[in-house]
């Protein structure tokens, strides 16, 4: 009875979304993908070699959905035997928003089948320096049953049923070695905030959405242990925020923002 009631409520929400968004079917497909998270191992798989990849077994999202949600084109569109692959290059910039020297960059890859549906999402090895693969996998798993904040357009994950992560947290020296010096450092009583900025290599940005190409990344390190405690950032409209220590302590502090969390002025909620 509880499961039936839950499914009815979700069905009503899906109808409300589809009718209130004036034919924005990409929202419906995004919500269908979210519902799949409840049965993660049935609909998804993960793979880690150098990159971290999440595999979509029953894909719903189309390539055009990502353009509709983020208003941004990928850096590269590559034609492969199994279908298109889109790469999003993020390049570190300096105080003047110029490409930093030496260059630091990372990427996301979206792989689609011949029907243009998303079948694989990959995160490059450099990105894993600030968001280790174990935490990324746990974050995707914890989206099942997460709470949607429609006003802020955020999805707050539920980590109650997720196995605790025992992996070593990234150390500040390692992170700095890969990312280089930050734009700014904010000193607090027990920790330090390191701020970075990355620019998405893209083209044909719709007027009014130029700021979406910039990715503001905040890293918080513990002063005594030098461990990375928190990471937050926005990447082509997707906002990710992870409180590593509370996550390990079985907290509910992991938040993933929906791609449309960026408004037309390029500002984020939260």
Structural domain contains residue 235: yes
Structural element, H or E, at residue 68: helix 63-70
For the chain, give the percent of residues with pLDDT over 90: 49
pLDDT on residue 252: 41
| Eight-state DSSP code of residue 270 | -
Tens digits of residue pLDDT in 77-104: 999 999 999 999 999 999 999 999 999 9
pLDDT band at 167 (very low <50, low <70, confident <90, very high): confident
The parent domain of residue 159 ranges over: 2-261
Length reported for the chain: 270
Tens digits of residue pLDDT in 8-20: 444 444 444 443 3
Residue 262 scores a pLDDT above 90: no
| The total number of structural domains that make up the chain | 1
Specify the residue for token string 């894993």.
128
| Eight-state DSSP code of residue 233 | E
pLDDT on residue 268: 32
Structural domain contains residue 267: no
Structural domain contains residue 87: yes
Q: If you average pLDDT over residues 221-227, what whole number do you get?
A: 95
Six token digits for residue 145:
């049953």
| Eight-state DSSP code of residue 95 | T
Half-sphere exposure of 152 (CA within 13 A, CB side): 13
Specify the residue for token string 């999402």.
121
Structural domain contains residue 223: yes
| 30 CB burial (10 A radius; 0-12, 13-18, 19+) | buried
CA distance 165 to 137: 10
Tens digits of residue pLDDT in 31-40: 888 889 889 9
Rounded to two decimals, what is the model's pTM?
0.78
Structural domain contains residue 73: yes
pLDDT band at 74 (very low <50, low <70, confident <90, very high): very high
pLDDT band at 66 (very low <50, low <70, confident <90, very high): confident
CA distance 243 to 249: 10
pLDDT on residue 5: 47
Residue 256 scores a pLDDT above 60: no
Structural domain contains residue 122: yes
Lowest model confidence (mean pLDDT) among 13-27, 58-72, 208-222 = 13-27
Residue 21 scores a pLDDT above 70: no
Tens digits of residue pLDDT in 124-135: 999 999 988 888
Distance of CA 167 to the CA centre of its chain: 20
Structural domain contains residue 62: yes
Distance of CA 213 to the CA centre of its chain: 14
Residue 269 in contact with residue 256, Cβ under 8 Å? Answer: no
């Amino acid at each position: 009875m509880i499961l039936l009631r839950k499914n009815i409520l979700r069905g009503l929400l899906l109808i409300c979304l589809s009718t209130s968004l004036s034919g924005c079917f990409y929202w419906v497909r995004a919500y269908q993908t979210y519902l799949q998270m409840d049965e993660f191992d049935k609909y998804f798989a993960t793979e880690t070699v150098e990159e971290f990849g999440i595999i979509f077994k029953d894909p719903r999202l189309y390539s055009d959905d990502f353009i509709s949600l983020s208003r941004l084109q990928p850096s590269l569109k590559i034609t492969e035997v199994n279908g298109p692959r889109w790469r999003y290059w993020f390049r570190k910039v300096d105080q003047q928003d110029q490409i930093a020297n030496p260059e630091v960059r990372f990427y996301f890859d979206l792989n689609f089948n011949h029907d243009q549906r998303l079948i694989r999402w990959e995160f490059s090895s450099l990105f894993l320096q600030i968001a280790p693969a174990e935490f990324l996998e746990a974050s995707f798993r914890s989206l099942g049953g997460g709470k949607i904040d429609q006003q802020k357009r955020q999805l707050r994950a539920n980590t109650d049923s997720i196995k605790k992560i025992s992996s070593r947290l990234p150390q500040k020296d390692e992170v700095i070695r890969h990312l280089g010096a930050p734009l700014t450092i904010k000193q607090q009583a027990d920790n330090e905030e390191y701020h970075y900025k990355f620019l998405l290599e893209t083209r044909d940005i719709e007027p009014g959405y130029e700021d979406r190409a910039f990715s503001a990344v905040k890293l918080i390190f513990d002063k005594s242990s030098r461990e990375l405690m928190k990471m937050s950032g926005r990447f082509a409209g997707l906002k990710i925020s992870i409180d590593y220590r509370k996550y390990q302590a079985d907290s509910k502090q992991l938040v993933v923002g929906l791609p449309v969390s960026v408004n037309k002025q390029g500002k984020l909620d939260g």
